[in-house]
Amino acid sequence: MKEYQQKYIVRTILYSRVTMVILFILLILFIRTIVELNDKRINASKLREESSAERNDLEEKVAKAKNKEESIKTERGFETYVRTTYPVVSEGEGVIVIYDAPTSLVTPVREDMTVWERLLVLWHKFIQK
């Protein structure tokens, strides 16, 4: 009879509403933890994909830089690099500059200068000498 009473007490405790609520709360906490871990896994996979894409881009840039370095080592490649990078010309060559009218940085010169403006120009020429 004592065994039956002990089993009855254990069953009443296990199947009581308080125990069910506690188990439900624990279940919710475990599910929440699993969802958070899944989010972290997804973020880690996104970061891994982004870093691999960035690594591929950097490897391509390194390959291009090596090719450019190899071409610069030759005389013709060096001359091409210097001409495209800096505004230089060889001896005997000339440069022709063409200005577009709407985008021109050159402003037209006024022909009708006042007396004071002419004196100011003369003054600047005198000071510079």
How many domains would you assign to the chain?
A: 1
Q: What is the per-residue pLDDT for 57?
A: 97
Q: What is the per-residue pLDDT for 3?
A: 81
| Digit-coded pLDDT (tens) for 88-112 | 777 887 767 776 666 656 666 667 8
- Which pair of tokens denotes residue 85? 């990078």
| Digit-coded pLDDT (tens) for 39-61 | 999 999 999 999 999 999 999 99
Is residue 7, in this structure, part of any structural domain at all?
Answer: yes
Distance from C-alpha of 47 to C-alpha of 41, rounded to nearest angstrom? 10
Q: What is the per-residue pLDDT for 84?
A: 85
Is residue 98, in this structure, part of any structural domain at all?
Answer: no
Q: What is the DSSP letter of 92?
A: T
Is residue 102, in this structure, part of any structural domain at all?
Answer: no
